[in-house]
Amino acid sequence: AHQAAATTTQDIRRAQRADGPATVLAIATANPETCISQDEYADFYFRVTNSEHLPQLKDKLKRICKKSGIENRFTYVNEEVLKAHPEFSDRKLSSLDARVEIASNAVPELAAAAASKAIAEWGRPATDITHLIFSTYSDLKAPSSDRRLASLLGLRHTVSRTILSLHGCYGGCRALQLAKELAENNRGARVLVACSEISLIAFHGPEECCLDNMVSHALFGDGSGAVIVGADPVDAVERPLFEMAFASQITAPDSEGAITVQHMKGGMDFHIARGVPEMLAGNIERCLAHAFDAVGVAARWKDLFWAVHPGGRRILDLIEEALGLDNGATAASRQVLREFGNMSGTTVIFVLNELCRRFVADGAKGEDWGALMAFGPGVTVEMILLRVASGLKGK
């Protein structure tokens, strides 16, 4: 008791803090089984939603699909699901109950497929995970996907769980930013970040009133991603991939109505305004400068590696142009867009995984600093300043 009295809260605080920066220690991804080719998507979508009487809308969807930069998408929604639930095709019908019920199982199960791979790659037992951050726009029930995932993976009862919802496409980045704070403020913490998105919650048939819905049906796909973050990696056991040097968020001015999401009786209502790519390109340099100024590193944008959320092909085009990047700077983002589409918050985890694969295959050719960027409703632009860590060097 005498010793406890002599310990100050400052001493406790200092002892709680990690020495080094939060570091990405493992990354993995997963997708549902059904894969639909983008060339065939318009035919599939108009057939399964009984909408062949709207040929002009179908032609529009075909035009958007052609320009999307996407070749394939994986989806939980297939003909079997729609046969069992024809109400999912008609937004005027009440279908939220059934969507929520399906998502409450499918979302954590898809997350478990990625998280179990990440834990295997990490090399330590699942019970060494101390914190779980789960991000999704698809699950609306409590207890939620985070609890279910903890059970599926056999995490310890003392694991500290957080669920993030409705961040949309910046959910993955938000979760990674919080993982950084947890890892750096809790010595020995190992944070599992899990994102899982099933666009079933927003699926419906075409409507002449809302043309931006054609855009979202042309872009969104389903997937899950998991990342393990911790500071002070254990030598010879853990492999440090990326150090997380700084995290920032900005809200774009005059942008509140540009990307909106709302749950309705007929599923999630989702809107993307026309000027979103231009708005993002116009704010991106401000966000980058804010982060680099804060850490006192002078960087040329051309020298960085990029893990940008591929919200749409045009967004990547305009960001490259605004920052004067070389053609190919966002190649990892474009590859993920091509192979999987926009999987909302999960997508940046796929991009980080693809970058890792490229660094392992070709070596980090001089790249040292990089930027992970994502955006979503707000309009919110987030970034994490990354540095290639020793586990990806010398390959």
Q: Any idea which residue has 């030598």 for tokens?
A: 235
CB of 211 to ligand CAA, least distance (A): 4
Q: Beta partners for 385?
A: 246, 371
Closer by beta carbon to ligand CAA, 122 or else 270? 270
CB of 28 to ligand CAA, least distance (A): 22
CB of 393 to ligand CAA, least distance (A): 32
How far is residue 36's CA from residue 281's CA, in Å, rounded to a whole number? 30
Where do the DSSP E strands lie in the chain?
Answer: 23-30, 35-37, 72-74, 131-136, 160-165, 190-197, 223-230, 242-251, 259-264, 267-272, 305-308, 369-376, 380-388
CB of 40 to ligand CAA, least distance (A): 17
Q: What tokens does 92 get?
A: 């005027």
Give the residues lining the site for ligand CAA (CB under 6 A). Answer: 60, 63-64, 67-68, 168-169, 211-212, 215, 259, 272, 274, 276-277, 311-315, 342, 344, 376-377
Closer by beta carbon to ligand CAA, 71 or else 79? 71
Where do runs of H (alpha helix) occur along 205-275? Answer: 212-219
Closer by beta carbon to ligand CAA, 153 or else 316? 316
CB of 105 to ligand CAA, least distance (A): 23
How far is residue 198's CA from residue 137's CA, in Å, rounded to a whole number? 8
65 is catalytic: no
| Cis status, amide bond into 379, omega within 30 of 0 | yes
How far is residue 222's CA from residue 178's CA, in Å, rounded to a whole number? 23
Closer by beta carbon to ligand CAA, 108 or else 311? 311
169, 195, 287, 356: the catalytic one is: 169
Q: Beta partners for 191?
A: 131, 229
How far is residue 344's CA from residue 313's CA, in Å, rounded to a whole number? 14
Contact 86, 204 (CB under 8 A): no
- Reported residue count of the chain is 395
3-state SS class at 179: helix
How far is residue 239's CA from residue 211's CA, in Å, rounded to a whole number? 46
CB of 363 to ligand CAA, least distance (A): 31
Closer by beta carbon to ligand CAA, 276 or else 304? 276
Closer by beta carbon to ligand CAA, 148 or else 204? 204
Contact 184, 18 (CB under 8 A): yes
Catalytic positions: 169
